[in-house]
Structure 1
Amino acid sequence: DIYSLKADYSQPLSGGWKLDAGAKSSYTKTNNVADYFLTVTDETKADYDKTNHFIYKEAIHAAYVNTAREGKRWSMQVGLRAEQTVSDGRQLGNAVKPDSAFRRTYTGLFPTAYLNYKLDSAGNHSITLDYGRRINRPYYQDLNPFISPLDKFTYYVGNPFLLPAYTHNVQLSYSYKGRITAGLRYSSTLDDTNETIEIVDGTYYSRPGNIGKTTILSGMLEGDLPLRKWLQVGFYSEVTNIHSETDFYTGFLDTKGTYWFVQPNFRFTFPKGWTAQIDGVYQTDITASQFYLLKRGRLNAGVSKKVSAALTVRAAVNDMLYTGINRGIINNLANTEANWRNANDTRTFTLAVAFRFGKAISDLRKHNQNSAQQEQNRVRE
């Protein structure tokens, strides 16, 4: 159950300034029950070691104030948000396990600042500097302490003691006519939530855990350019360095690595309503705390024909070379070496026929009309 109440206020001020303020309260309750049974020689009994009942309640109260001004060359914005969170968790007992409960209360301040300057009077060239501190709370399911068997040797375990992650972000970017953007970003996160793997008596336990400190430094370049009347080229590329430090099951964990990510696309326009697109994605090896993700990529292509103003036919092939396979190595395991390979059905062919009936209906679920969106995003699909 998720309930939310939100109020916002906006007031124009003299000198081109604008003031915004508001408050929000949200209430969440999850009630999770898992019953496990053991059947031996036609006799079924409750498995109290895995059977569980967990109730989690959370209340978040927040208030913010924000002021902004937009001039001919300069644009700026400064804001501050205050939040208080009160959470209660209760794990009900059973025939072999007693009740247990916890309460956690924490308050935080989250400043933001934004500055943009147009380098020329036409506004073709501009630079932007922004800073923000944010909080990322765990998924509700990750707070659930249930033990869920994935296979004979692997169990997923929730973690009710997960802490929220706090991140400082600083980004400097340059833009040319809104078509080409280059930027540098630095972020420092405390208690980032990530999957961790522990081996106990030959059994793998996968659980979410807090990574002490994660520092990210990246540079990016993106753009969307018309090279010809019949060819539009878009691209995004970044180089990122990740450094993680935390206490771990096998001792202190200190990992760092740099990876490259690129995502180009080519869009073609032909006579008589024909269009086509070729796009792809590629990343090099990534070091992410306990995990080492091996390089992978994907190549896609599609073509479409606009038969009439109302009828369009599309055909597409995804992952043509079948290279979008997740592979990696799990490090820092006690006396164990482990790797994984997930080969999903990513190579597909689709054929679609679209017929347009009258005017398109706009989506009514806008951000300002759904004050519980942040809480809903913490529910896994």
Structure 2
Amino acid sequence: MTDTPTIPVFDGHNDTLLRLHMRGDDDLGVGAFLNGGVGGHIDLAKARAGGLAGGMFAIFTPSPQLGVDYLELMRAATYDVPLPDRLPLGDAQKAVLAMAALLLRIERASDGAVAVCRSGAEIRAAMARGAFATVLHIEGAEAIDADLDALHVLHAAGLRSLGPVWSRPTIFGHGVPFRFPSSPDIGPGLTETGKRLVKACDELRIVFDLSHLNEAGFWDVAKLSTRPLVATHSNAHALTPHARNLTDAQLAAIRETGGLVGLNFATCFLREDGRMRGDTALDVMARHLDHLIDRLGVDHVGFGSDFDGAIVPDALGDAAGLPRLLVHLKAHGYDDATLEKIAWRNWVALLERVWGE
């Protein structure tokens, strides 16, 4: 197979804003994204080279007291990475506002090359004119207060997708640790404040991301939410028994609601041995896609790369390497219509179902 499929990709999750924010200067971050040349998995040049047409841009607030290299710890045969305590509200809000502002500054400085999208119609329009379509997402809701006032302000600023937890606890619920091997059935479910957050997100038509939530919390959301269930970047527990992956019962629940799961490219969630190693074949990505499609149906699976937040297969490299993945999947047996669904159509359709546009 030598022909590269000319199929655009809309990705369900990346941590590029955190990488840019950590440069310590917003002007440097804006320039690093628009001009490239400073490493990382995603910038505008790499996106164009790989056909990455847009995606969900996560805001994640790191814990200053983490004190461990969790990517390195996940190279071991078994592991249970220690997680930090809750973040203070003020610290989280400062970081979230800074990264949201960074994305808006990138849009303003891009001369139309980058668009922050708030509806399915805006995503489709941006892709049609060749602009890079971004969606504001928050991973870990530490910046949202118990009264949920910040949720409404952030929604007005463009927030359209929210994960209530990363893996550390919040006032809303409990995440799963980076633990292998392990079940995701770890700890209690949503708090009462978390249940109110689900209902508020439903009313505002904000995607409620289940990716880092523990199993009890997952089932709480399934009982409360009237919207499709979504895990933006998660894989199959039946193939890789990592606490972060979804069981077949969870996949069935997502299918019943017309939801979606985005395939996570992080190698520790793909490999049978749960290790975070770059020397990982693209075949393992195809195996997880096969399983997800078998359990969810072809209309309910997409990509959720975790670019700039994890080690991905060396054979993929970064966003510029996405055509290699599509070529591999075509050789694996997926036709162009299926690849288009997985690569972008399913995500846009899901967002339209949730957002009502």
TM-score (normalised: structure 2): 0.28
| Larger strand proportion of the pair | 1
| Larger helix proportion of the pair | 2
